[in-house]
Structure 1
Amino acid sequence: MSTLEKRQTADKPGYAKIRQMNRGSYDRALAYEILDSGMVAHCGFIHEDRPMVIPMAYARIDDRLYIHGASTTRIVKDNANGVPASLTVTLLDGLVVARSAFHHSMNYRCVIVHGTARLVEDHDEQIEALAAITDHLLPGRWDECRDMIPKEHKATGVLVLDIEHASTKVRTGGPVDDKMDLGTDLWAGVVPITTALGQPFNAYDVPDETPVPESVPAARRKFA
Protein backbone atom coordinates (compact mmCIF):
# COMPACT_ATOMS: atom_id res chain seq x y z
CA MET A 1 0.00 0.00 0.00
CA SER A 2 1.39 3.41 -1.00
CA THR A 3 1.75 6.31 1.43
CA LEU A 4 -1.20 8.07 -0.20
CA GLU A 5 -3.41 4.95 -0.03
CA LYS A 6 -2.72 4.71 3.70
CA ARG A 7 -3.84 8.32 4.12
CA GLN A 8 -6.99 7.67 2.09
CA THR A 9 -8.16 4.95 4.47
CA ALA A 10 -9.24 7.77 6.79
CA ASP A 11 -11.58 9.23 4.15
CA LYS A 12 -14.85 8.25 5.77
CA PRO A 13 -17.90 10.30 6.76
CA GLY A 14 -17.10 12.36 9.82
CA TYR A 15 -13.39 12.61 9.05
CA ALA A 16 -13.62 15.60 6.72
CA LYS A 17 -12.91 18.37 9.21
CA ILE A 18 -10.03 16.40 10.79
CA ARG A 19 -8.56 15.87 7.32
CA GLN A 20 -8.88 19.64 6.67
CA MET A 21 -6.51 20.38 9.58
CA ASN A 22 -4.05 17.66 8.63
CA ARG A 23 -3.62 18.11 4.89
CA GLY A 24 -0.01 19.18 5.25
CA SER A 25 2.85 16.88 6.18
CA TYR A 26 6.61 16.48 5.94
CA ASP A 27 6.48 12.82 4.94
CA ARG A 28 9.44 12.28 2.58
CA ALA A 29 8.03 9.04 1.21
CA LEU A 30 4.79 10.77 0.22
CA ALA A 31 6.69 13.73 -1.23
CA TYR A 32 8.79 11.43 -3.41
CA GLU A 33 5.70 9.45 -4.45
CA ILE A 34 4.10 12.67 -5.75
CA LEU A 35 7.31 13.82 -7.44
CA ASP A 36 7.69 10.48 -9.19
CA SER A 37 4.09 10.67 -10.46
CA GLY A 38 4.21 14.21 -11.84
CA MET A 39 5.09 15.44 -15.30
CA VAL A 40 5.73 19.18 -14.87
CA ALA A 41 7.40 21.08 -12.05
CA HIS A 42 7.02 24.82 -11.49
CA CYS A 43 10.42 26.17 -10.48
CA GLY A 44 10.72 29.41 -8.54
CA PHE A 45 13.83 31.56 -8.26
CA ILE A 46 14.87 35.20 -8.01
CA HIS A 47 16.13 37.01 -11.11
CA GLU A 48 17.21 40.66 -10.90
CA ASP A 49 15.33 41.00 -7.60
CA ARG A 50 12.11 39.72 -9.16
CA PRO A 51 10.41 36.38 -8.43
CA MET A 52 10.21 34.08 -11.45
CA VAL A 53 8.27 30.81 -11.88
CA ILE A 54 8.91 28.58 -14.89
CA PRO A 55 7.35 25.17 -15.78
CA MET A 56 10.06 22.57 -16.38
CA ALA A 57 10.50 18.88 -17.08
CA TYR A 58 12.35 17.21 -14.22
CA ALA A 59 13.51 13.98 -12.64
CA ARG A 60 14.42 12.81 -9.16
CA ILE A 61 17.51 10.80 -8.29
CA ASP A 62 17.57 10.00 -4.57
CA ASP A 63 17.51 13.35 -2.70
CA ARG A 64 18.22 15.47 -5.78
CA LEU A 65 15.98 16.97 -8.43
CA TYR A 66 17.29 17.75 -11.89
CA ILE A 67 15.90 20.23 -14.41
CA HIS A 68 17.36 21.25 -17.73
CA GLY A 69 17.11 23.97 -20.34
CA ALA A 70 19.13 25.81 -22.93
CA SER A 71 22.50 26.77 -21.47
CA THR A 72 21.76 30.44 -22.31
CA THR A 73 18.46 30.71 -20.40
CA ARG A 74 18.22 32.81 -17.25
CA ILE A 75 17.24 29.93 -14.98
CA VAL A 76 20.43 28.08 -15.99
CA LYS A 77 23.14 30.68 -16.53
CA ASP A 78 22.20 32.98 -13.63
CA ASN A 79 22.03 30.24 -11.00
CA ALA A 80 25.31 28.47 -11.69
CA ASN A 81 26.95 29.20 -8.35
CA GLY A 82 24.14 27.97 -6.13
CA VAL A 83 21.02 29.90 -5.11
CA PRO A 84 17.96 29.24 -2.94
CA ALA A 85 15.17 27.83 -5.08
CA SER A 86 11.74 26.27 -4.75
CA LEU A 87 9.91 23.71 -6.86
CA THR A 88 6.32 22.51 -6.76
CA VAL A 89 4.48 19.61 -8.39
CA THR A 90 0.69 19.36 -8.19
CA LEU A 91 -1.51 16.46 -9.28
CA LEU A 92 -5.24 17.17 -9.63
CA ASP A 93 -7.54 14.25 -8.80
CA GLY A 94 -11.03 15.74 -8.79
CA LEU A 95 -13.38 18.71 -8.57
CA VAL A 96 -15.20 18.70 -5.25
CA VAL A 97 -18.73 19.99 -5.80
CA ALA A 98 -20.54 21.13 -2.69
CA ARG A 99 -24.04 22.51 -2.19
CA SER A 100 -22.69 25.98 -1.55
CA ALA A 101 -20.03 27.70 -3.65
CA PHE A 102 -18.15 28.46 -0.44
CA HIS A 103 -17.37 24.76 0.13
CA HIS A 104 -16.31 23.88 -3.42
CA SER A 105 -12.78 22.53 -3.54
CA MET A 106 -10.41 20.20 -5.38
CA ASN A 107 -8.88 16.87 -4.52
CA TYR A 108 -5.18 17.15 -5.14
CA ARG A 109 -1.68 16.03 -4.19
CA CYS A 110 1.02 18.66 -3.98
CA VAL A 111 4.67 18.71 -2.97
CA ILE A 112 6.73 21.82 -2.27
CA VAL A 113 10.50 21.47 -2.31
CA HIS A 114 13.04 24.00 -1.02
CA GLY A 115 16.74 23.70 -1.58
CA THR A 116 19.84 25.06 -3.24
CA ALA A 117 20.04 24.97 -7.03
CA ARG A 118 23.39 24.87 -8.77
CA LEU A 119 24.75 24.17 -12.22
CA VAL A 120 25.87 20.60 -12.88
CA GLU A 121 29.37 20.78 -14.34
CA ASP A 122 30.48 17.16 -14.11
CA HIS A 123 30.00 15.52 -17.52
CA ASP A 124 28.93 12.11 -16.20
CA GLU A 125 26.39 13.66 -13.81
CA GLN A 126 24.97 15.76 -16.65
CA ILE A 127 24.43 12.67 -18.78
CA GLU A 128 22.90 10.79 -15.85
CA ALA A 129 20.54 13.71 -15.21
CA LEU A 130 19.48 14.08 -18.85
CA ALA A 131 18.85 10.34 -19.08
CA ALA A 132 16.76 10.48 -15.89
CA ILE A 133 14.67 13.43 -17.16
CA THR A 134 14.05 11.67 -20.47
CA ASP A 135 13.18 8.36 -18.82
CA HIS A 136 10.95 10.01 -16.21
CA LEU A 137 8.47 10.93 -18.95
CA LEU A 138 9.17 8.03 -21.31
CA PRO A 139 10.65 5.09 -19.37
CA GLY A 140 13.53 3.58 -21.34
CA ARG A 141 13.56 6.28 -24.03
CA TRP A 142 17.16 7.38 -23.43
CA ASP A 143 18.53 4.04 -24.61
CA GLU A 144 16.23 4.10 -27.66
CA CYS A 145 17.66 7.42 -28.87
CA ARG A 146 20.89 8.01 -30.75
CA ASP A 147 23.85 9.24 -28.71
CA MET A 148 23.95 12.91 -27.79
CA ILE A 149 26.39 14.85 -29.97
CA PRO A 150 28.80 17.48 -28.53
CA LYS A 151 26.85 20.40 -30.04
CA GLU A 152 23.68 19.32 -28.26
CA HIS A 153 25.51 18.75 -25.00
CA LYS A 154 27.07 22.23 -25.15
CA ALA A 155 23.67 23.83 -25.78
CA THR A 156 22.04 22.12 -22.78
CA GLY A 157 22.37 23.23 -19.18
CA VAL A 158 21.41 21.10 -16.18
CA LEU A 159 20.58 22.37 -12.72
CA VAL A 160 20.45 20.17 -9.65
CA LEU A 161 18.31 21.09 -6.67
CA ASP A 162 19.39 19.41 -3.45
CA ILE A 163 16.19 18.64 -1.55
CA GLU A 164 16.73 20.30 1.82
CA HIS A 165 13.06 20.54 2.82
CA ALA A 166 9.97 18.88 1.32
CA SER A 167 6.37 19.31 2.43
CA THR A 168 3.13 17.96 1.02
CA LYS A 169 -0.54 18.92 0.94
CA VAL A 170 -3.20 16.38 0.03
CA ARG A 171 -6.97 16.61 -0.11
CA THR A 172 -9.15 13.57 -0.72
CA GLY A 173 -12.80 12.73 -0.20
CA GLY A 174 -16.10 14.44 -0.82
CA PRO A 175 -17.50 17.88 -0.06
CA VAL A 176 -17.78 19.18 3.48
CA ASP A 177 -21.22 20.77 3.47
CA ASP A 178 -22.89 22.68 6.26
CA LYS A 179 -25.50 20.69 8.20
CA MET A 180 -28.29 22.97 7.01
CA ASP A 181 -27.53 21.99 3.39
CA LEU A 182 -27.55 18.23 3.92
CA GLY A 183 -30.57 16.39 2.55
CA THR A 184 -31.56 19.15 0.12
CA ASP A 185 -32.22 18.55 -3.58
CA LEU A 186 -28.95 20.22 -4.62
CA TRP A 187 -26.42 17.79 -6.12
CA ALA A 188 -23.03 17.38 -4.46
CA GLY A 189 -20.16 15.03 -5.11
CA VAL A 190 -16.80 14.64 -6.84
CA VAL A 191 -15.95 14.94 -10.54
CA PRO A 192 -12.79 12.86 -11.08
CA ILE A 193 -9.90 14.33 -13.07
CA THR A 194 -7.87 11.77 -14.98
CA THR A 195 -4.54 12.15 -16.74
CA ALA A 196 -3.79 9.78 -19.60
CA LEU A 197 -1.54 9.66 -22.64
CA GLY A 198 -3.36 9.26 -25.94
CA GLN A 199 -2.74 6.98 -28.87
CA PRO A 200 0.62 7.90 -30.48
CA PHE A 201 0.82 8.90 -34.13
CA ASN A 202 3.86 8.87 -36.39
CA ALA A 203 5.84 11.90 -37.47
CA TYR A 204 5.24 12.67 -41.16
CA ASP A 205 8.47 10.99 -42.33
CA VAL A 206 8.15 7.78 -40.28
CA PRO A 207 7.04 4.77 -42.38
CA ASP A 208 3.73 3.28 -41.31
CA GLU A 209 5.33 -0.09 -40.61
CA THR A 210 7.79 1.36 -38.07
CA PRO A 211 6.89 -0.08 -34.65
CA VAL A 212 6.15 2.20 -31.71
CA PRO A 213 9.06 1.94 -29.25
CA GLU A 214 8.49 0.30 -25.88
CA SER A 215 9.00 3.62 -24.05
CA VAL A 216 5.64 4.89 -25.35
CA PRO A 217 3.39 2.16 -23.90
CA ALA A 218 5.60 2.25 -20.78
CA ALA A 219 4.77 5.94 -20.38
CA ARG A 220 1.08 5.29 -20.98
CA ARG A 221 1.13 2.68 -18.23
CA LYS A 222 3.06 4.94 -15.85
CA PHE A 223 0.74 7.92 -16.21
CA ALA A 224 -2.53 5.99 -16.55
Structure 2
Amino acid sequence: MSQPSTKISRLDEKQSASRDALNALLDSTPLVTIALVLDGHPVAFPTGFARIGDDIVIHGSTGSPWLRAVAAGAPVALSMTTLDGVVVARSAFESSFHYRSATLFGTFEQIGADDKERYLEMLTDTFIPGRVAELRASSRKELAATVAMRMTIGADNWSVKLSDGWPEDPDADIAAGTWGGVVPLTTVYGEPRRAPDCDPAIPTPGSVLGLSGPLANRYSP
Protein backbone atom coordinates (compact mmCIF):
# COMPACT_ATOMS: atom_id res chain seq x y z
CA MET A 1 0.00 0.00 0.00
CA SER A 2 1.42 3.38 -1.01
CA GLN A 3 1.85 6.13 1.55
CA PRO A 4 -0.45 9.19 1.29
CA SER A 5 1.19 12.39 0.08
CA THR A 6 2.64 14.63 2.79
CA LYS A 7 2.64 17.71 0.56
CA ILE A 8 0.22 20.39 1.74
CA SER A 9 -2.04 21.56 -1.10
CA ARG A 10 -3.91 24.38 0.67
CA LEU A 11 -1.81 27.34 1.88
CA ASP A 12 1.32 25.38 1.05
CA GLU A 13 3.50 28.35 2.03
CA LYS A 14 2.75 27.41 5.64
CA GLN A 15 4.33 23.96 5.28
CA SER A 16 7.56 23.45 7.22
CA ALA A 17 10.24 20.88 6.42
CA SER A 18 11.90 21.38 9.82
CA ARG A 19 12.24 18.26 11.94
CA ASP A 20 12.89 20.54 14.91
CA ALA A 21 9.48 22.16 14.32
CA LEU A 22 7.87 18.71 14.24
CA ASN A 23 9.59 17.63 17.45
CA ALA A 24 8.62 20.88 19.19
CA LEU A 25 4.97 20.31 18.28
CA LEU A 26 5.02 16.66 19.35
CA ASP A 27 6.59 17.68 22.65
CA SER A 28 4.01 20.42 23.29
CA THR A 29 0.98 18.17 23.72
CA PRO A 30 0.18 14.77 25.27
CA LEU A 31 -2.74 14.08 22.91
CA VAL A 32 -2.82 12.66 19.38
CA THR A 33 -5.75 11.52 17.23
CA ILE A 34 -5.20 8.19 15.47
CA ALA A 35 -7.35 7.39 12.43
CA LEU A 36 -7.67 4.02 10.68
CA VAL A 37 -10.16 1.87 8.83
CA LEU A 38 -11.76 -0.66 11.22
CA ASP A 39 -14.30 -3.24 10.04
CA GLY A 40 -14.68 -1.32 6.78
CA HIS A 41 -15.38 2.04 8.43
CA PRO A 42 -13.13 5.08 9.01
CA VAL A 43 -12.67 5.71 12.74
CA ALA A 44 -10.58 8.12 14.81
CA PHE A 45 -9.52 7.89 18.44
CA PRO A 46 -7.82 10.52 20.62
CA THR A 47 -5.16 8.95 22.82
CA GLY A 48 -2.22 9.92 24.98
CA PHE A 49 1.23 9.67 23.42
CA ALA A 50 4.82 10.71 23.87
CA ARG A 51 7.74 11.21 21.52
CA ILE A 52 10.58 9.05 22.79
CA GLY A 53 13.60 9.62 20.59
CA ASP A 54 12.49 8.99 17.01
CA ASP A 55 9.36 7.07 18.02
CA ILE A 56 5.74 7.93 18.73
CA VAL A 57 4.75 5.73 21.70
CA ILE A 58 1.18 4.89 22.76
CA HIS A 59 -0.42 2.42 25.14
CA GLY A 60 -3.82 1.13 26.13
CA SER A 61 -5.95 -1.86 26.98
CA THR A 62 -5.32 -5.21 25.32
CA GLY A 63 -9.13 -5.49 25.16
CA SER A 64 -9.49 -2.50 22.83
CA PRO A 65 -10.52 -3.61 19.30
CA TRP A 66 -8.94 -0.62 17.60
CA LEU A 67 -5.67 -1.00 19.51
CA ARG A 68 -5.57 -4.68 18.55
CA ALA A 69 -5.99 -3.66 14.91
CA VAL A 70 -3.17 -1.12 15.21
CA ALA A 71 -0.94 -3.69 16.92
CA ALA A 72 -1.64 -6.08 14.03
CA GLY A 73 -0.20 -3.55 11.58
CA ALA A 74 -3.19 -1.55 10.32
CA PRO A 75 -2.06 1.60 8.46
CA VAL A 76 -2.81 4.74 10.48
CA ALA A 77 -2.85 8.50 10.17
CA LEU A 78 -1.91 10.55 13.23
CA SER A 79 -2.79 14.21 13.71
CA MET A 80 -2.29 16.83 16.38
CA THR A 81 -2.80 20.59 16.61
CA THR A 82 -1.71 23.21 19.12
CA LEU A 83 -3.45 26.60 19.16
CA ASP A 84 -1.14 29.51 19.97
CA GLY A 85 -3.38 32.52 19.41
CA VAL A 86 -6.45 34.10 17.85
CA VAL A 87 -5.89 36.35 14.84
CA VAL A 88 -8.44 39.16 15.21
CA ALA A 89 -8.64 40.73 11.77
CA ARG A 90 -10.75 43.63 10.51
CA SER A 91 -13.09 41.20 8.77
CA ALA A 92 -14.50 37.77 9.54
CA PHE A 93 -12.92 36.50 6.31
CA GLU A 94 -9.36 37.31 7.40
CA SER A 95 -9.76 36.27 11.06
CA SER A 96 -8.07 32.98 11.95
CA PHE A 97 -5.76 31.29 14.45
CA HIS A 98 -2.09 30.90 15.15
CA TYR A 99 -1.57 27.14 15.12
CA ARG A 100 0.93 24.36 14.63
CA SER A 101 -0.37 21.11 13.18
CA ALA A 102 1.15 17.86 11.99
CA THR A 103 0.10 14.65 10.31
CA LEU A 104 2.08 11.41 10.30
CA PHE A 105 1.46 8.19 8.39
CA GLY A 106 2.69 4.67 9.06
CA THR A 107 2.20 1.57 11.16
CA PHE A 108 2.87 0.77 14.80
CA GLU A 109 4.82 -2.19 16.13
CA GLN A 110 4.08 -3.79 19.47
CA ILE A 111 6.73 -3.35 22.14
CA GLY A 112 7.86 -6.69 23.50
CA ALA A 113 7.51 -7.90 27.08
CA ASP A 114 11.19 -7.27 27.85
CA ASP A 115 10.87 -3.54 27.07
CA LYS A 116 7.21 -2.86 27.84
CA GLU A 117 7.58 -1.80 31.48
CA ARG A 118 10.48 0.54 30.65
CA TYR A 119 8.47 2.24 27.90
CA LEU A 120 5.40 2.55 30.10
CA GLU A 121 7.51 4.21 32.77
CA MET A 122 8.90 6.63 30.20
CA LEU A 123 5.35 7.47 29.17
CA THR A 124 4.36 8.13 32.79
CA ASP A 125 7.38 10.33 33.39
CA THR A 126 6.61 12.28 30.23
CA PHE A 127 3.03 12.94 31.30
CA ILE A 128 3.96 13.62 34.96
CA PRO A 129 7.73 14.17 35.25
CA GLY A 130 9.24 12.39 38.26
CA ARG A 131 6.11 10.39 39.05
CA VAL A 132 7.54 6.90 38.47
CA ALA A 133 9.93 7.25 41.42
CA GLU A 134 6.95 7.99 43.70
CA LEU A 135 4.88 4.94 42.66
CA ARG A 136 4.89 1.21 43.26
CA ALA A 137 5.98 -1.01 40.40
CA SER A 138 3.33 -2.19 37.93
CA SER A 139 1.94 -5.64 38.72
CA ARG A 140 2.13 -8.56 36.30
CA LYS A 141 -1.64 -8.37 35.86
CA GLU A 142 -1.47 -4.68 34.95
CA LEU A 143 1.34 -5.24 32.46
CA ALA A 144 -0.51 -8.16 30.89
CA ALA A 145 -3.61 -5.99 30.45
CA THR A 146 -1.64 -3.23 28.70
CA VAL A 147 -0.35 -3.05 25.15
CA ALA A 148 2.46 -0.60 24.28
CA MET A 149 3.36 0.32 20.71
CA ARG A 150 5.74 2.57 18.84
CA MET A 151 5.86 4.10 15.37
CA THR A 152 9.05 5.45 13.87
CA ILE A 153 9.14 9.06 12.72
CA GLY A 154 10.85 8.69 9.36
CA ALA A 155 12.32 11.14 6.90
CA ASP A 156 9.22 11.48 4.76
CA ASN A 157 6.15 10.14 6.59
CA TRP A 158 5.08 13.45 8.14
CA SER A 159 4.08 17.01 7.35
CA VAL A 160 3.96 20.14 9.49
CA LYS A 161 1.88 23.28 8.95
CA LEU A 162 2.61 26.49 10.86
CA SER A 163 0.40 29.57 10.95
CA ASP A 164 1.56 32.77 12.62
CA GLY A 165 1.96 36.45 11.83
CA TRP A 166 -0.36 39.44 11.86
CA PRO A 167 -3.77 39.85 10.19
CA GLU A 168 -3.46 40.23 6.44
CA ASP A 169 -6.10 42.91 6.03
CA PRO A 170 -6.74 44.89 2.84
CA ASP A 171 -5.74 48.56 2.99
CA ALA A 172 -9.40 49.62 2.87
CA ASP A 173 -10.22 47.61 6.00
CA ILE A 174 -7.20 49.01 7.85
CA ALA A 175 -8.19 52.55 6.89
CA ALA A 176 -11.71 51.98 8.22
CA GLY A 177 -10.35 52.14 11.78
CA THR A 178 -11.42 48.73 13.12
CA TRP A 179 -9.10 47.14 15.72
CA GLY A 180 -6.83 44.33 14.50
CA GLY A 181 -4.23 42.18 16.22
CA VAL A 182 -3.49 38.85 17.89
CA VAL A 183 -4.60 37.42 21.24
CA PRO A 184 -2.11 34.78 22.49
CA LEU A 185 -3.62 31.48 23.63
CA THR A 186 -2.07 29.05 26.14
CA THR A 187 -3.19 26.06 28.21
CA VAL A 188 -2.03 26.05 31.84
CA TYR A 189 -2.21 23.67 34.79
CA GLY A 190 -4.46 24.63 37.69
CA GLU A 191 -4.21 24.18 41.43
CA PRO A 192 -3.90 20.48 42.42
CA ARG A 193 -7.12 19.04 43.91
CA ARG A 194 -6.73 16.36 46.59
CA ALA A 195 -8.93 13.27 46.18
CA PRO A 196 -11.61 12.91 48.90
CA ASP A 197 -10.06 9.62 50.06
CA CYS A 198 -6.51 11.05 50.19
CA ASP A 199 -5.32 11.61 53.77
CA PRO A 200 -4.75 15.38 54.29
CA ALA A 201 -1.56 14.48 56.17
CA ILE A 202 0.03 13.10 52.98
CA PRO A 203 2.19 15.85 51.48
CA THR A 204 1.70 16.85 47.87
CA PRO A 205 4.49 15.08 45.96
CA GLY A 206 7.16 16.82 43.96
CA SER A 207 5.83 15.51 40.65
CA VAL A 208 2.48 17.21 41.28
CA LEU A 209 4.04 20.43 42.55
CA GLY A 210 6.13 20.47 39.38
CA LEU A 211 3.00 20.63 37.21
CA SER A 212 2.72 24.38 36.97
CA GLY A 213 2.72 26.96 34.24
CA PRO A 214 1.96 26.37 30.54
CA LEU A 215 1.18 22.82 29.48
CA ALA A 216 3.89 22.98 26.80
CA ASN A 217 6.57 23.36 29.48
CA ARG A 218 6.04 19.72 30.49
CA TYR A 219 6.92 18.43 27.04
CA SER A 220 10.37 19.50 25.96
CA PRO A 221 12.81 17.66 23.63
Q: 2:113 aligns with which of 103, 123, 137?
A: 123
Deviations 1:116-154 (A, max 9, x none): 11222x123211221122112211112211110111111
Cα distance in 2 for partners of 1:104, 1:212 equals: 43
Per-residue deviation at 1:221?
4.6
Q: Which amino acid aligns with 1:117?
A: F
Paired position in structure 1 for 2:99: 108
Q: Which amino acid aligns with 1:125?
A: D
Per-residue deviation at 1:111?
1.9
Paired position in structure 2 for 1:206: 198
Q: Which amino acid aligns with 2:31?
A: V
Consecutive unaligned residues of structure 2, counting only runs of 5 or more, are: 1-10
Q: Confirm whether residue 72 of structure 1 aligns to residue 72 of structure 2.
A: no
Cα distance in 1 for partners of 2:214, 2:177 equals: 40
**Structure 1 residues 82 and 21, CA gap change in structure 2 (3 angstroms):** closer
Q: Judge conservation of contact 1:95–1:191 (CA < 8 Å) in 2.
A: yes
**Structure 1 residues 53 and 148, CA gap change in structure 2 (3 angstroms):** same
Per-residue deviation at 1:222?
6.4
Poorly superposed stretches of 4+, deviation over 3 Å: none
Paired position in structure 1 for 2:211: 219
Q: Which amino acid aligns with 2:36?
A: F
Paired position in structure 1 for 2:3: none
Paired position in structure 2 for 1:22: 13
TM-score normalized with structure 2 length: 0.85
Per-residue deviation at 1:185?
2.5
Q: Judge conservation of contact 1:94–1:192 (CA < 8 Å) in 2.
A: yes
Paired position in structure 2 for 1:180: 172
Q: Which amino acid aligns with 1:65?
A: I
Q: Judge conservation of contact 1:91–1:109 (CA < 8 Å) in 2.
A: yes
Q: Which amino acid aligns with 1:211?
A: P
Partner-residue secondary structure (3-state), 1:31: helix
Cα distance in 1 for partners of 2:43, 2:118 equals: 27
TM-score normalized with structure 1 length: 0.84
Paired position in structure 1 for 2:152: 162
Cα distance in 2 for partners of 1:180, 1:32 equals: 40
Q: 1:89 aligns with which of 67, 71, 80?
A: 80
Consecutive unaligned residues of structure 1, counting only runs of 5 or more, are: 1-19
Q: Judge conservation of contact 1:116–1:163 (CA < 8 Å) in 2.
A: no
Percent same amino acid among aligned pairs? 34
Q: Which amino acid aligns with 1:207?
A: D
Cα distance in 1 for partners of 2:182, 2:144 equals: 48
Q: Judge conservation of contact 1:86–1:115 (CA < 8 Å) in 2.
A: yes
Q: Judge conservation of contact 1:103–1:176 (CA < 8 Å) in 2.
A: yes
Q: CA RMSD in A?
A: 1.7
Structure with bigger helix share is: 1
Cα distance in 2 for partners of 1:39, 1:150 equals: 26
Paired position in structure 2 for 1:195: 187
Paired position in structure 1 for 2:7: none
Number of equivalent positions: 204
Q: Which amino acid aligns with 1:186?
A: T
